[in-house]
A and B are shown apart, each in its own frame.
Chain A
Amino acid sequence: MTLQAAIQVSLGELNLDVEITAADGETVVVLGPNGAGKTTLLRAIAGLVAIDDGRITLDDVVLDEPATNTWMPTETRPIGVVFQDYLLFPHLSALENVAFGLRAHGVARSVARERARERLAHVGLSEQAEARPGTLSGGQAQRVALARALVLEPRLLLLDEPLAALDATTRVEVRRELRRELDAFGGVRIVVTHDPIDALALATRVVIIEHGRVQQAGTLDEIRTRPRSRFIADLVGVNLYRGALTGDRLRTADDAEIVVANDDEVSGDVFAVIHPEAVTVHIEAPVGSSRNVWKGTIRDIDGQGRRARLHIDGPVPITAEITQAARSALSLEVGSSVWVSVKATEIATYAT
């Protein structure tokens, strides 16, 4: 692993204790709610926050290790950072922003400007070279910030909420561009975000942190099929239940019963996942092979393009995803009484 970081920091309310590793050519996305410690983690790797305990190494060079009093200051770490809000220097032009790092590394003025100009041309911003950051659009500012970090050819690229400052329409486009830029950069990439869609678009691996701890780490697929907390389940949009499993019966904390296939023959404290697409919604009590049939009331409906997500209260609260066409055919509204059914074979169970 190129980057190995075991980080323990206490900062005010936050008590961060995480381990994170990343290899060349990999984009590790650190995903978590606001206040989880994501930015602090990034700042610790960048050397903007000193860790209390642990060890951060990059290519086997120790950047920070309190136990041995080892500390490499930020300005000598081979890193590039794209900050939230980008933090382009407002008194310098786009070109001077990109040239700044080269100048700080002692590159001659004319050479630095030439290389900065090439970088800007590469991201399609030749026209904006002399523009002040205040006059750039969000997407352009993001590209300048990325160019400013990449022109130094760092080993490790850190991005803090790189898309949060953008509006929804430019976001899709910039996200795609960012993905291309990240793939083209051969070193280690670490992206911090609270947005699962960004994570989905950028990640080769996801590390989910909550309350300063790693809740789960793995590929997106692993996380989507086997989430290990309610937060993660909500992020990836699946129904997650926890309870005691005996044979094919799962008893939830609310004392409801769910019938599962239990192919892996686990027992005891387990998680059960139901994908919203696997939930069938009926107007009348269904007769069929589904082992799980509950009566419930629609609490809320989210429309997402051609699909609708129904949040249904009942003995087992559940979210169902159906087409908008099905929704209007059944005239489903908030407050409607419905039956839901889920086949036991559609429910995955795994030990906690």
Chain B
Amino acid sequence: MLTKRDRPPALAVALAAVAIAFFVLPLLGMLLRAPWSELGGLLSDQATRDALRLSLECSLAATVLTIVFGIPLAWVLARVEFPGRRLARACVLLPMVLPPVVGGLALFLAFGRRGIVGEYLDDWFGVTLPFTTGGVIVAEVFVSMPFFVITVEAALRGFDHRYEDAAATLGASRWTRFRRVTLPLIAPSVIAGAALAWARALGEFGATITFAGNLSGKTQTMPLAIFLKFEVGDLDGAIALGLVLVAVSLIVLVSLRDHWLRA
């Protein structure tokens, strides 16, 4: 039994209850309003299937790029002393707090046809990013990689370097030490960071629509499709697509419960 001393203050409990309701009600609204019987039909039309496929392809590609570039980046930020490291980290983490629309605009100015880099990409390599599927992936990497880098960097900082020392005395080269000791020991954080980045990439809207546009089958991902359906009054279609993303989000959350939900 709770003694008087242990009893939580009533006001805090009441405010917390309101906050919980605030998170539960929207979800409940979607579930109650969902056109369950027509769900199959709503999800099987060509535009919806294209959006779903494009979302999966782009977000997975973005996650792969995030891992390939993010691990070395996290390692450099965690281990290498260089002038401007704090500034570099701030630039990398900025997209986490930057409004995505602004991010899309910035991407356009850098990698657009007239952008500071985009012009040469186009002239020299014939690569065009804006309003292409590649542009969607670039936008997703831009907004999701910081989540991965911050998670992996924290793990590398918390990692006991002496394990690498031990591996070195056993004859392991730098790469072997990283591959066989460091990476396995920080793997839980790498997986969590990748899942977080993937979830963020899957839901990307602002930077995508600004930088890559909203072209069905080419740059129209799920969030864009949902927004479009909602705008034109197709509420059932919007909810059906929304439920798919809710399901994916729940799967990510449940599979990472040991990492985030342990209390």
Whether the pair A75, B185 counts as a contact (CB closer than 8 A) is no
When A91-B184, A100-B180 are in contact, do A83 and B162 touch as well, CB less than 8 Å? yes
Q: What are the interface flags for A63-84 relative to B under an 8 Å C-beta threshold, 1 for contact and 0 otherwise?
A: 0000000000111110111010
Whether the pair A79, B169 counts as a contact (CB closer than 8 A) is yes
- Which of A47, A79, A80, A101 has the most chain B CB atoms closer than 10 A to its own CB? A101
Cα–Cα distance between A87 and B165 once the two chains are bound (Å): 9
Whether the pair A48, B170 counts as a contact (CB closer than 8 A) is no
When A89-B181, A91-B185 are in contact, do A75 and B172 touch as well, CB less than 8 Å? yes
Which positions 122-180 of chain B face chain A at CB distance < 8 Å?
Answer: 160, 162-163, 165-173, 176, 180
Cα–Cα distance between A101 and B169 once the two chains are bound (Å): 8
Provide the main secondary structure of the chain B interface. helix
A96 to B, closest residue via Cβ: B180
Which positions 151-179 of chain A face chain B at CB distance < 8 Å?
Answer: 152
Cα–Cα distance between A1 and B176 once the two chains are bound (Å): 33
Cα–Cα distance between A76 and B168 once the two chains are bound (Å): 9
Whether the pair B162, A87 counts as a contact (CB closer than 8 A) is yes
B166 to A, closest residue via Cβ: A87
Count, A-B residue pairs, CB within 8 A: 59
Which positions 82-99 of chain A face chain B at CB distance < 8 Å?
Answer: 83, 87, 89-91
B169 to A, closest residue via Cβ: A81
When A83-B162, A87-B162 are in contact, do A100 and B169 touch as well, CB less than 8 Å? no
Whether the pair B163, A104 counts as a contact (CB closer than 8 A) is no
Whether the pair B169, A46 counts as a contact (CB closer than 8 A) is yes
Which positions 130-156 of chain A face chain B at CB distance < 8 Å?
Answer: 148-149, 152
Cα–Cα distance between A104 and B177 once the two chains are bound (Å): 9
Which A residues touch B163, using CB under 8 A? 87, 89
Q: Is A105 an interface residue (CB 8 A)?
A: yes
Whether the pair B169, A80 counts as a contact (CB closer than 8 A) is yes
Which B residues touch A81, using CB under 8 A? 166, 169
Which A residues touch B171, using CB under 8 A? 75-76, 101, 104-105, 152
Which A residues touch B185, using CB under 8 A? 89-91
Which positions 209-235 of chain A face chain B at CB distance < 8 Å?
Answer: none
Whether the pair B169, A104 counts as a contact (CB closer than 8 A) is no
Cα–Cα distance between A91 and B170 once the two chains are bound (Å): 16
B165 to chain A, nearest CB (A): 5
Whether the pair B166, A89 counts as a contact (CB closer than 8 A) is yes
Whether the pair B162, A152 counts as a contact (CB closer than 8 A) is no
Cα–Cα distance between A74 and B173 once the two chains are bound (Å): 9
A73 to B, closest residue via Cβ: B168
Cα–Cα distance between A76 and B185 once the two chains are bound (Å): 24
Cα–Cα distance between A89 and B168 once the two chains are bound (Å): 12
Cα–Cα distance between A156 and B239 once the two chains are bound (Å): 69
Which B residues touch A152, using CB under 8 A? 170-171
B187 to A, closest residue via Cβ: A91
Whether the pair A48, B168 counts as a contact (CB closer than 8 A) is yes
Q: What are the interface flags for A327-341 relative to B under an 8 Å C-beta threshold, 1 for contact and 0 otherwise?
A: 000000000000000
Cα–Cα distance between A46 and B167 once the two chains are bound (Å): 12
Residues of B bordering A, CB below 8 Å: 160, 162-163, 165-173, 176, 180-181, 184-185
14 residue pairs from A and B, CB less than 8 Å apart:
A48-B165, A74-B165, A77-B169, A79-B169, A83-B165, A87-B162, A87-B165, A87-B166, A89-B166, A100-B167, A100-B170, A100-B172, A149-B170, A152-B171
Apart from the given pairs A90-B185, A104-B167, 11 other A-B contacts in the complex at a CB distance below 8 Å: A46-B165, A48-B169, A73-B168, A75-B171, A75-B173, A87-B163, A87-B165, A100-B180, A101-B171, A104-B171, A152-B171
The 6 A-B residue pairs with the shortest CB-CB distance, nearest first, are A101-B170, A74-B168, A104-B172, A81-B169, A87-B166, A104-B171
